[in-house]
A = this chain, B = another copy of it.
Amino acid sequence: MTVRQSYDLELEELRLSLLEMGRRVSTAIDDAVGALAQQRMDLAQKVIESDDLIDQMEIDIEDKCMVLIARQQPMARDLRIIGTGLKITTDLERMGDHAYDIAKITLSLGNQPLLKPLVDIPRMAQKAQNMLKAALTAYINLDINLAEEVCLADDGVDHLYNQVFRELLTFMMEDPRKITQATQLLFVARYLERIADHITNIAEWTIYLVTGQRRRKK
Q: Which A residues are within 8 Å of any B CB, using their own CB?
A: 51, 55, 59, 62, 65-66, 69-70, 72-75, 79-80, 82-83, 86-87, 90, 169, 172-174, 176, 179-180, 183, 186-187, 190, 214, 216-218
Question: 20 A-B residue contacts at CB 8 Å?
Answer: A55-B218, A62-B83, A65-B83, A66-B79, A66-B80, A66-B83, A69-B73, A69-B79, A69-B82, A69-B83, A70-B73, A70-B74, A70-B79, A86-B86, A86-B87, A169-B183, A172-B172, A172-B179, A172-B183, A187-B190
Q: Which of B55, B62, B75, B190 contacts A70 (CB 8 A)?
A: B75
Evaluate contact between B176 and A59: CB separation under 8 angstroms: no
A91: min CB distance to chain B, Å: 9
8 tightest Cβ-Cβ pairs between the two chains A and B: A173-B176, A73-B73, A172-B179, A55-B217, A86-B86, A70-B75, A69-B69, A173-B179
A74 to B73, CA, bound (A): 8
A148 to B24, CA, bound (A): 31
Tell me if A's interface is mostly helix, strand, loop or mixed: helix
Q: Which of B65, B69, B80, B183 contacts A183 (CB 8 A)?
A: B183
A58: min CB distance to chain B, Å: 9
Q: Which of B80, B87, B174, B183 contacts A186 (CB 8 A)?
A: B183
Chain B residues contacting A70 (CB-CB under 8 Å) are 73-75, 79
A122: min CB distance to chain B, Å: 22
Instruction: Given contacts A59-B214, A173-B176, A187-B190, list 13 more A-B pairs with CB under 8 A.
Output: A55-B216, A62-B83, A66-B83, A69-B74, A69-B79, A69-B83, A70-B75, A169-B179, A172-B179, A174-B176, A176-B176, A183-B183, A186-B186
